Amino acid sequence: MIYLDYAATTPIRTEALEVYQQVSQHYYGNSSSLHDVGTSSQQLLETCRAELAKLIHGKKEGIYFTSGGSESNYLAIRSLLKGNEKKGKHIITTKTEHSSIYQLCIALEKEGYNVTFLDVDHNGIISIQQLVENISSDTCLVSIHHANSETGIIQPLEAIGKILHEKKILFHSDCVQTFGKLPIDVEKLHLSSLSISAHKIYGPKGVGALYINPAVSWQSLYPGTSHERGLRPGTVNVPGIASFVTAAQLLEKSRETNKEKDRKLRQYFIEQVKKRWLPIVIEAENASCLPTILGLRIVGMEGQHVMLECNRKQIAISTGSACQVGSQAPSRTMIATGKSSDEAREFIRLSFGKDTTMEHIDAVVDAIGDILEEMNG
Set 175, 289, 310, 323: catalytic member: 323
Q: Which of 207, 184, 192, 202 is nearest to 45 (CA)?
A: 207
Q: Is the dihedral of CA 303, 322, 329, 266 positive or negative?
A: negative
Q: Identify any residues that bridge with 231 across adjacent strands, giving them in sequence order.
A: none
pTM given for the model: 0.95
One-letter amino acid identity for 182?
L
Would residue 323 show up in a list of annotated catalytic residues for this protein? yes
Backbone angles phi, psi at 283, to 5 degrees: -75, 135
Distance (Å, whole) CA 288 – CA 284: 8
pLDDT (tens, 9 = 90+) of the chain, 377 residues, equals 999 999 999 999 999 999 999 999 998 767 766 677 777 888 999 999 999 999 999 999 999 999 999 999 999 999 999 999 999 999 999 999 999 999 999 999 999 999 999 999 999 999 999 999 999 999 999 999 999 999 999 999 999 999 999 999 999 999 999 999 999 999 999 999 999 999 999 999 999 999 999 999 999 999 888 888 889 998 899 999 999 999 999 999 999 999 999 999 999 999 999 999 999 999 999 999 999 999 999 999 999 999 999 999 999 999 974 433 344 678 999 999 999 999 999 999 999 999 999 999 999 999 999 999 888 76
Q: Which of 79, 78, 65, 83 is nearest to 104 (CA)?
A: 78
| Number of other residues whose CB lies within 10 A of the CB of residue 300 | 12
| Number of other residues whose CB lies within 10 A of the CB of residue 47 | 13
Residues 6+ apart with CB under 8 A from 33: 39, 41
Domains and CATH numbers, the chain: 14-253 (3.40.640.10), 254-376 (3.90.1150.10)
| DSSP H/E element including 188 | none
Task: Report helix, strand or coil for 142.
Answer: strand
Residues 6+ apart with CB under 8 A from 17: 204, 243
Residues 6+ apart with CB under 8 A from 202: 10, 11, 12, 13, 16, 247, 250, 251, 354
DSSP-assigned states of every residue in 74-112: HHHHHHHHHHTGGG-SEEEEETTS-HHHHHHHHHHHHTT
